Amino acid sequence: MKKIKTDSLFSEEEQQQNISLYLLRREIVLSGQFRFILNIVLFFLLTSFSQFSFAQSKGSSKVPFRFFFTLEHQTIKGKLGGYRFHTVKLRKYHRISETDTVENFGGRWVVKGIMNDNLKPVPFRVSESAYPDNQSIKITNPNNFFNRTHIELEFPDSVQFFGAGEQFSYVRLPENLKKPLPLWIEEPGIGRGDLPVSLLTRPVGVSGNKHTTCYALPLWITSDFQTIFVNQPNKLIYYQIYRKKGKKYLHLVVSGNELQVQVQKHKDVKSLVRNISFFKGHTGIPDFGYSGVLGLQGGRKRVDSILSLTLNSGVAVQSVWIQDWVGKRKVSFGSRLWWNWQANEQVYPDFPHWVDSLRQKNIRVLGYINPFLADTGFYTTEALRNGYVLKNSKGEHYKINAGGFDAYLVDLFHPEAAEWMIEIIRKEMIDKGLSGWMADFAEWFPPDALTHNCKGGCAVLHNMYAAEWARINKEAVKRAGKEDDIIVFHRSGYYHSSMNTTLFWMGDQMTDWGKNDGFPSVLNAINSSALCGIPFIHSDIGGYTSVKYPLVRTLRSRELLYRWSELAAFTPFFRTHEGLNPELNFQYYSDLEALAFFARMSQIHYSLKAYFLALQNEAIQYGFPVNRPLWMEFPDDKETLNAFHQFMLGSEIIIIPVISPNKTQVKGYLPAGTWQHAFTKQQFSGNKWYIFEAPQGTPAVFFRKNGEWDAELSKIFTNFVQ
């Protein structure tokens, strides 16, 4: 049995990330003195426990694998705090104690018993459906003293793990973790360990790490096509993967005295994704979304000028996205958006008329919103008066330092506040003519906050805040009757967010080549999200976060923008962002050469519209992601498990992007079949690794010969052969 460590579930590095993690960690910290005493007590308890096993009732299926479970108490009361552990080891065919009972109900068995730790008896109940391909395990204990429940599932050492939501530093989940990781949505951080920028961001607690994510899911996927899912949305959940004695273990921890986990076996990756997808039944991306989307700002005059230049240069574009439609406010270090959710007529005069005039020219306008309210403003006053914002532990309005000013988070769990927010979106955005928006910032719910319906212990609502934000945005669009005509894209997500969101974007990558937070992290996000059933995802072309200091400089270069555009042309939403420092970053409109390059990539993207729409129908009907790893299409080819630096568009196109600077070649794998280079017409046989030539403008992209789309894709790419 693995010894459970009593260290905090959060490391010192995680403590520095933000105040939310600090507050949560503070509740479970142990003193060094108490750990010594606890180890002695644990040794006594663990050596005195009885060992139980599940007996096989006549006609029932065998238990699919061995597992352990643990009940744990965490407390913040008293000077030292403490843990207590109660452990039972479960083994097949081992004799059950006479004090325990085994019941079988037509393929579902239940074990009931008493754990005796020589201090007091503890009743438990473990139930499992014994169907070979669908194991549903439930551990319950009636004693509310226990507020953490663990389960450790055993797998062969050859099994690899994926999932847990969108990942940026890896697709294959790390093993031999020293302690469980929290499934905790947050801003992924700036740098995430990449040097040198993390040297600046780590001391101030905003660097993030390799595990931080803005879209977490309690879902794990194995290389032998199993899924492990914890269906307890209003719980704190942690996970750990480790090796011991030739086996691998998935260790799950859930807050409370009950744990429910579902383990399912599937025939391949596509059937796995089809079963887990929360997206089925969605309407997909509106038609205009498959043309380019220009991220511009700076006021009506500037946007009109750059848009005109762009259209005259042959760029395929049908939308402009203006995040500063609300205007900006000056702060000590620059400027920030006004979070008052009303059009700024000084920056964008006659806003509704301007939006309508662009629509008449076949150009849609998209905006920006988040669930914060600035410290001053009409809607802020109204929200504070009606009690529509989160409260702190004293019952006061919870002020959050948003960077240069204080702000309040709307209490989305308050029914009246949710309706009020829906009405703001309708009145200020939809009725003003906006065809969509970025729905940002749902990761900031403080764990010590109080809501309308929760007066303590509300940290369990942190992740669900993002899901509620997605629901509210969708409800506003639905009530307006424009589900087929409005695009809403989110950064954060949890549980059912996908079914309430048009698409997602990957957050704020650095404008550099960093493995964990730069351009290469986009590939990990694409492939990991696909395996978690997230069907539509995209990134800011060229990245967002840039810094310029004497010794640290991460500004977008021409080469980075070009390579990012090559990748983005094969994702469903082709959207630019000027970045954190527009005047310092290289832009697609910086010179005529860049405009010509960007026009070519946008035209490639738009020429694939029919193919994108076919893939969208697959996503709606089956939940299949538009972009996906090779492993999804070729699950029996073990080499595809080593090819996460590339991805597919549907089942017919493979993209192998150049993700390092100053390179004109790229290594990639082609699976079974014959594959034709999209831009040179050269054909390659599959089941082989190659070194491909990939100069700027001619990315390594291949489509399947003799496939369903062979003729159509051949015709499309002929127009772009160089």
443 given a catalytic annotation: yes
The neighbouring-strand residues paired with 216 are: 165
Phi-psi label, residue 200: left if phi above 0, alpha if psi -120 to 50, beta otherwise? alpha
Q: Give the distance from CA 153 to its chain's centroid.
A: 24
Q: Which of 668, 623, 523 is nearest to 280 (CA)?
A: 623
The token duo for 609 is: 């519209």
* Alpha carbons 560 and 519: distance in angstroms, whole number: 8
* Alpha carbons 234 and 241: distance in angstroms, whole number: 23
How many C-beta atoms lie closer than 10 Å to residue 665's C-beta?
Answer: 12
Dihedral, 316, 321, 325, 329 alpha carbons, nearest 10 = -120
Q: Which of 676, 674, 626, 620 is nearest to 651 (CA)?
A: 626
* Alpha carbons 284 and 435: distance in angstroms, whole number: 14
What single string gives the DSSP state of each residue in 206-218?
----TT-BSBEEE
* Alpha carbons 482 and 548: distance in angstroms, whole number: 42
Which residues are CB-neighbours of 562 under 8 A, at least 6 positions away? 597, 696, 697
Catalytic-labelled residue, pool 128, 166, 428, 440: 440
440 given a catalytic annotation: yes
* Alpha carbons 124 and 128: distance in angstroms, whole number: 14
Q: Which residue has the tokens 């309508």?
A: 356
117 given a catalytic annotation: no
Are 721 and 681 a contacting pair, CB within 8 Å? yes
What sign has the CA pseudo-torsion 496, 497, 503, 508?
A: negative
End-to-end CA distance of the chain: 61
How many C-beta atoms lie closer than 10 Å to residue 119's C-beta?
Answer: 10
Which residues are CB-neighbours of 576 under 8 A, at least 6 positions away? 292, 293, 294, 295, 540, 541, 542, 588
Cis peptide before 196 (omega within 30 of 0): yes
Catalytic-labelled residue, pool 14, 443, 566, 652: 443
Catalytic-labelled residue, pool 508, 512, 517, 578: 508
* Alpha carbons 446 and 416: distance in angstroms, whole number: 21
The neighbouring-strand residues paired with 404 are: none
Q: Which of 189, 206, 126 is nearest to 509 (CA)?
A: 189
Burial class (CB in 10 A: 0-12, 13-18, 19+), 157: exposed
The token duo for 317 is: 């574009």
Which residues are CB-neighbours of 669 under 8 A, at least 6 positions away? 630, 639, 640, 642, 643, 646, 688, 689, 690
Are 488 and 437 a contacting pair, CB within 8 Å? yes
Burial class (CB in 10 A: 0-12, 13-18, 19+), 313: middle
Q: Which of 434, 438, 442, 487 is nearest to 467 (CA)?
A: 442
Half-sphere exposure of residue 128: CA atoms within 13 angstroms, side-chain side: 26
- Residues classed as catalytic: 440, 443, 508
